[in-house]
Structure 1
Amino acid sequence: MQFDKPIALAADHGGYELKEVIKAHLTEQGIAFVDFGTDSAASVDYPDYAAKGCDAVLNGSCALTILCCGTGVGMSMCANKIKGIRACCCSDTFSAEFTRRHNNANCLCLGGRVVGAGLALQIVDAFLNAEFEGGRHQNRIDKMMALENR
C-alpha cells in the first residue's frame, strides 16, 4: 500500500471511534492521512464531514477517502451525491476489494455500529490494496459517471 497522496478520513459522531482505530492502523502501516474530523463523539451532521473527505479527493489533495458514520449508509448516500465520487458502503472484504478493482471506487464508507474494529481494518486493507483493473470495466465506469449529468 503506497500512495503518492494521503488518504482522507472523516466521520460523524457515530463513526468517530472507528475513525480513530483506522487512524492508528494507517499510522502503523506508514500510510499518510488527513483527518477532516469530527474530533469527538458529540453529535454532528454527517453530510458536512462527507463533503470534507470527498472534496479532498476531488481537489487532488488526497488519493482516496474513508468515511465513517453509524451505519456507513448516510455517508455513502451523501458522498454519491457529489459529482466525481464513487462511494461504496462495505461490510465485507470482498466488496471492498472489488469496488476498487471493478468500480474504481474512490470512497469507502464504513459503519461504526455495524462492523467491529478488526473486520473494519481488514476491509480498509482490502480497499487500499486493490487497484482498478481498467479494461472492460472502464466503459462501465464511463456510463456510470455519465448518469451524474442526467
Structure 2
Amino acid sequence: MIVLGSDHGGLELKNEIKKLLEERGLPCEDLGTHNGDSVDYPDFGVAVARRVSEGSAEKGILVCGTGIGMSIVANKFPGIRAALATDVFMATMAKEHNNANILVLGGRVLDTQKAREMVTAWLDTAYAAGRHQNRLDKITQLERELKG
C-alpha cells in the first residue's frame, strides 16, 4: 500500500501521481487534502509518515509547494527516510542508496511529466543494500539513541 498526502500547494500534482499509481495497478490511499482550500502541510505529512512508520503502509508520497516542509515533518518519525527529490536522478538515488520509504515532491516546482518520471523511477529502482546498509543502520542507531 502506498499512501499519498498533500497540502493545497501539492494537490494537483498529488492527484496526477494518484492516477499514475492507479494506471500501474498499485494499491494506494489518498489521505488528503481533497480540495484547494488552504491547509497546514504538517497535518498531511503526519498522516502519511505515521502510516509508514507504523507499518500499515509500505511507502508514501508527499507533495507540498516545494516539498521542503513535508520532508521536515516526515523525517521526525522513527524509521522514516523521506527524500525530497527534484529530478529523476535524485528519485533513483533516494531508493537505490537510501531505501527512501517516502518520496517528497514540490507541486509548485515540478511539472506533471517530470514528476511522473520521478515517481516511476523511485518505484522501479531496487535498494542496492551492500555498503549502503551500514549507513542506514547508523541512522537507525541514532534514532534509538535520541529516543532513549
The alignment's TM-score, normalised by the length of structure 1, stands at 0.93
Structure 1 unmatched runs, 5+? 1-5
Q: In the alignment, what sits opposite 1:102? A: 97
Residue deviations 1:5-53 (CA, integer Å, cap 9, x gap): x111000010011110111111111111011000111111111100111
Equivalents in 2 of 1:141, 1:42: separation in Å? 38
Higher helix content, 1 or 2: 2
CA distance in 1, matches of 2:23, 2:98: 28
1:123: Cα distance to partner?
Answer: 0.5
In structure 1, distance between residues paired with 2:140 and 2:43? 23
Question: Residue type matched to 2:95 in 1?
Answer: R
Number of residue equivalences: 145
Q: How far apart are the structure 1 equivalents of 2:118 and 2:68?
A: 16
Aligned letter for 2:111? G
Match of 1:31 in 2: 26
Hey, what's the Cα distance between the residues in 1 that align with 2:105 and 2:111? 10
Moved over 2 A (4+): 145-150
Paired residue type of 1:105: A
Residue matched to 2:117: 122
- Match in the other structure for 2:38: 43
TM-score by length of 2: 0.94
2:53 corresponds to 1:58: yes
Task: Report the residue type matching 1:42 in the other structure.
Answer: D
Q: Find the residue that maps to 1:15 and give its secondary structure.
A: helix
3-state SS in 2 of match to 1:19? helix
Cα shift at 1:78: 0.7
Look up the equivalent residue of 1:103 and give its one-letter code. Answer: N
Q: 1:146 & 1:19 partners in 2: Cα distance?
A: 33
- Deviation, structure 1 residue 136: 1.1
